[in-house]
Amino acid sequence: MRWPLCSGLDQSRAASAQRLRFLPVLVSLAVLSIAVSAAAAQSQRAKKAKRPRSLDQGITWQRDPATGELRAVAGGASPGASAGSAAPGLHPMQVLTQMVPVTCIVSTPDGTAVPGLRREDFRVFDDGAEQPIAYFDASTAPASVALVIDASPSVLRDSEEMRRAADALIDSLAPLDQAAVVDFSAHTYLQLPFSDAREQIRRAVARVDVRALLGDTGGSNIYQSVYLAARELFPGRTGRKAILLLTDGQDSGLGLSFDPASAAPQPGRANDRLTFDDVARKLAAEDIQIFAVSTENRPKVMTPEWLAAHEGTTLVTPAARALGIPPYTLYVAELVRRTGGQLYFLREAQTMADTFRKIAEKVRAEYSLGFYPAPGTGTPGARGGWHSLRVEVVDQPGVRASHRASYYVPTTP
């Protein structure tokens, strides 16, 4: 009578054993399903991350006939509605109360940054006239550094080294510093807006690929990319601001030559087009310094001592041809001079880590000064147009103060 019961129990045990044999398989399938789902989600995120935004898409250039200012205007917008500009009919940097910021690097002859200076150690001159310093900051506030990386065909042989150079800079940033990544060929692409997440910044740099942009025909628009990066990334940001430009300098967009007139709007050419002077004006308006790393060889005459001796005067002269300075290197050096930055040559660096450590140290050791411009003759505000700037450090023999060479006050119509 018990045999059927035992037989049923045996069958139950057999079924349980059968299920246990399949349990590892079921668990494996579940784990595999989760892994596939996670991989698909990660792939989707990666695809989204790999889609940079074109900064020049839909942009038109419009020059104000009254002030001569050029603005990049998004498609369909009115001239006064571009990013970073004032409302229609108004002009940025109103001259009545606008403080002029001056970011300043103080260094010894060997390039070492000099910390620990105070307000009374500085004197600021506007068009040769000393001005009271209304604002002073020597803190180590976080910096905003935009990496603008040339990805045009002309830098193909140097592209890997340029990526390693950008990585070296990331290693040198302070923990709270923020970095953005832009690359360009004919067009300009935002790979990453400002972020303090180091892994995001590294991934953005890794996405910069010259071969991916070989079909981006139309030349290499270096200065347009610098302008668009300044326009897109920096309005409203405070503190230390810098662009690290990695390039060979061979711009094909502005038609620059040894003739200084090629840097400005030219008679007989379309007025609504970007010029070198417009780029310098935009950087001056945002108080952005340029740290440029050229992949070309340093011209023999262009020693650090020669550059320091010419800090107060333009480098773009017909005489530069006789000195053996290529125009593409000349204009990179001129942009650095006007913004008070530093020029480096990639092939000179004993180690890239040392070079970019120095750049990061200089950005962190910058001094922020500010003054209110003196009224112009017969006007309630400062004189419109360009103003020369000079900063002196007193009682510090041998040190040099690097800063933007001028600032611009828009002319009120």
Q: Tokens 């398989």 label which residue?
A: 25
**Is 70 exceeded by the pLDDT of residue 214?**
no
Lowest-pLDDT range, 1-5, 227-231, 232-236? 1-5
* 24 vs 190, residue with greater confidence: 190
**Is 60 exceeded by the pLDDT of residue 44?**
no
* 214 vs 25, residue with greater confidence: 214
How confident is the model at residue 81, as a pLDDT?
Answer: 39
CA dihedral 22, 26, 32, 35 (to 10 degrees): -150
**Is 60 exceeded by the pLDDT of residue 58?**
yes
Looking at this protein, which amino acid is placed at residue 312?
G
From 404, 17, 54, 384, select the one nearest 243 (Cα to Cα): 404
Mean pLDDT, the chain, whole residue set: 79
Residue 229 pLDDT level (bands cut at 50, 70, 90): very high
CATH code for the structural domain at 54-408: 3.40.50.410
From 178, 172, 175, 208, select the one nearest 195 (Cα to Cα): 178
The pTM (predicted TM-score) of the whole model is: 0.76
As a whole-number percent, the residues of the chain with pLDDT over 70 amount to 76
